[in-house]
Amino acid sequence: MPSPQPSPALGETPTEQAAGDDGAHRLLATDLASEVEFLTARARSIGTARANANLAPLDLRVSSYCVLALACSGTNPSQRELAEFLRLDPSQIVSLIDRLENRGAVRRESDVRDRRSKVVAATASGRTLYARARVAVREAEDESMAPLSAEERLQLKALLQRVAFVPSE
């Protein structure tokens, strides 16, 4: 990614109560509370925390789920492409795929046209796992997006898509 420094951002520390209705609500009046940077960080923190919780029974997390989803997508992504798309370092992809491969969800196949590159493909059991994981993630999304109407959710998605994928940055 764009920054040579490691990534701090906001964490995912759980609380018994909730993300919003705690004593810190006083801080909502702050300038920070209306900065997009902070809002996306907090939204993703809440969202991935919930998704991770839902994925835990499947022994998956958001990162491995993303890899699995792309392996199941039929696009035959290479590890390099996965790294770029998920904004992870190529070295992180290695261990992510190692673990998925060890449990038989995914296979590394060498690309016939470029033998340096390895294509990541899902196995049958990987596709089954993905089907269940997808339900778990969708449920998490439903909870996270609960404050928004169906139309607003689409609106949010559309706006985020334009920010997350800039045409020719």
Q: Residue numbers of the site for DNA (CB under 7 A)?
A: 1, 3-14, 23, 49, 61, 63, 78-80, 83, 88-94, 97-98, 108, 114-118
Partner that binds at residue 102, options its own copies, DNA, none, CB closer than 5 to 8 Å by kind:
none
CA distances from 134 to 10, 115, 127, 140 (A): 25, 32, 10, 10
Partner that binds at residue 135, options DNA, its own copies, none, CB closer than 5 to 8 Å by kind:
none
Q: Which of residues 15-74 bind its own copies (CB under 8 A)?
A: 15, 17-53, 56, 61-64, 66, 69-70, 73
Partner that binds at residue 66, options DNA, its own copies, none, CB closer than 5 to 8 Å by kind:
its own copies
What is the rounded distance in angstroms from the CA atom of residue 18 to the CA atom of residue 129?
30
What values do phi and psi take at 118, rounded to 5?
A: -120, 130
* Inter-residue contact 15 to 25 (CB < 8 Å): no
Between 49 and 129, whose beta carbon lies closer to its own copies? 49
Pick the binder of its own copies from 57, 58, 80, 104 (CB under 8 A). 80
Structure tokens at 111: 């690309």
CA dihedral 30, 36, 39, 43 (to 10 degrees): 170
Between 5 and 168, whose beta carbon lies closer to DNA? 5
The answer to whether residue 7 forms part of the interface with its own copies (CB under 8 A) is yes
Q: Which of residues 128-157 bind its own copies (CB under 8 A)?
A: 134, 137, 140-141, 144-148, 152-153, 155-157
What is the rounded distance in angstroms from the CA atom of residue 40 to the CA atom of residue 160?
10
# chain residues binding its own copies, by CB under 8 A: 99
DSSP lists the bridge partners of residue 118 as 110
